[in-house]
Amino acid sequence: MKDSPTKTTVKQLLSIPVMVAALGYLVDMYDLFLFSIVRVPSLKSLGLTDEQVLSDGILLLNLQMVGMLIGGLFWGVLGDKKGRLSVLFGSILIYSIANIGNGLVTTIEQYAVLRFIAGFGLAGELGVGITLVVEILPKNIRGYGTTLVATMGVFGALLAFLIVQFFEWRVSYFIGGGLGLLLMALRLKVFESGIFLQLKQQNVRRGDIRMLFNNKARFLKYMTSIVAGMPIWFVVGILITFSPEIGRAMRLGQPIDAGQAVLFAFAAQVAGNLASGFLSQYLQNRRQVIFSFMLGSFFLTVILLLAPFSSTTLFYLLCGCLGFFSGYWTLFITVAAELFGSNLRATVATTAPNFVRGTIIPLTSIFLVMKGYIGTINSALVTGVLTYLAGMIALYYLEETFKKDMSFVEEA
């Protein structure tokens, strides 16, 4: 063991910027996964059939992800050009208002527009929050900081599930929007990253997205960081989100409830986030831990889709195990932020996780196209195998970042 938390470490981790980033991600994940939980009841209340609930649900999910892709670019560039705090305030205002609007929809068209706007706003929260954390904490403990942020995000998904148990889906959206607006008051006490303040005094290009594509090594580093996170979103976006359809295809004894699948998956991901984060601190190695978690997730996917069982309890248990091994999301975010210099860090840290989320568009497209030919189970399996294979290849080429100093810039 190399590093362990001390009293000073705990004080640094509980500083206002770290806690605001963590609470912001909690609200972010609340909204993001609230739709997965209320997809069926909200669409049925708008008069859609079972078949439309699947097809239009995928449409809304994809529009949300398109919003996140566009928002990721916008907020990331803004974070490097104008500062981390401008993004934190702007993004939460937009997705909080959109969240409230989601509770007022009466047509599928309104729902679609608001999911796009919500996605655009949500895109800025995580990456810039993580950027702020890795820049203000010492390098030997920044892994603890990002673990805290990611873990609080998972609690946001759990909170969404609990709220839905007591409130109608429209009220659940109102609560999410209200939480976001309340958080803005706390953000008034957040201070800007010292590294960014120093960066402003230097004559370097900041937030120039073209720099990610005008250098081969930098471009490959960026792409491998994105692809390495894809298996997480395969689990979340297909296995968990469409667990009712998968359970029906498996002919389980009882229907699968998407809300309970989310509960089991994200309750376990809390433990996975903590385990992967602390293990990487212990080993002083990010890549080894990511590979172990990715491999465990792959084997569990195969078991879920191919093992001959009919118990819904076992299905939920496997969802929980998949959630645990998706806990390397913490390390994926950390590596994305650590890979690049301070003049591109917010751009990368914001776009990379949103591009990972956006991979749900091609993944669901593959899933739906093959579903008509080989069925739901085989389609999910093939999509998963392709995703994990790509993720492991990308991880092989990914740079180890544990001891990397954050005070550097990318040359034009």
**Per-residue pLDDT tens for 162-218?**
898 899 999 999 999 998 888 877 666 665 556 666 666 666 777 678 888 888 888
Among residues 393, 387, 369, 391, which one has the least CA distance to residue 379? 369
Cα dihedral across residues 288, 290, 296, 302: positive or negative? negative
SS3 91: helix
Q: Could you tell me if 401 and 142 are in contact, meaning their C-beta atoms sit under 8 angstroms apart? A: no
- The 3-state DSSP composition of the chain as helix, strand, coil percent (nearest 5) reads 80, 0, 20
Q: Could you tell me if 206 and 345 are in contact, meaning their C-beta atoms sit under 8 angstroms apart? A: no
Cα–Cα distance list, 121 to 66, 77, 104, 298 (Å): 12, 14, 18, 32
Cα–Cα distance list, 219 to 81, 131, 134, 252 (Å): 20, 19, 22, 45
Cα–Cα distance list, 112 to 205, 216, 318 (Å): 36, 37, 32
d(CA 241, CA 97): 24
d(CA 348, CA 56): 31
Going residue by residue through the chain, which has 412 residues, state the pLDDT in tens, using 9 for 90 and above: 454 456 566 777 777 777 878 888 888 888 877 887 888 889 999 988 877 887 888 888 888 888 888 988 888 888 888 777 777 778 888 989 999 999 999 999 999 999 999 999 988 877 778 888 888 888 778 878 888 887 787 788 778 888 988 999 999 999 999 988 888 776 666 655 566 666 666 667 776 788 888 888 889 999 999 999 999 989 988 999 889 889 899 988 788 888 788 788 878 887 898 898 889 888 888 899 999 999 999 999 999 999 888 889 999 999 999 999 998 887 887 888 888 887 888 888 888 887 887 788 889 888 888 888 898 899 999 999 999 999 999 999 988 887 777 777 777 6
Residue for token digits 């994990």? 388
Residue 59 parent element (H or E)? helix 50-81
SS3 252: coil
* CATH hierarchy code of domain 16-185+206-397: 1.20.1250.20
d(CA 238, CA 92): 27
Angle at 84 between CA 83 and CA 85, to 5 degrees: 95
d(CA 329, CA 336): 11
Q: Could you tell me if 388 and 321 are in contact, meaning their C-beta atoms sit under 8 angstroms apart? A: no
Greatest C-alpha distance within the chain? 65
Cα–Cα distance list, 231 to 278, 334, 349, 398 (Å): 21, 17, 18, 15
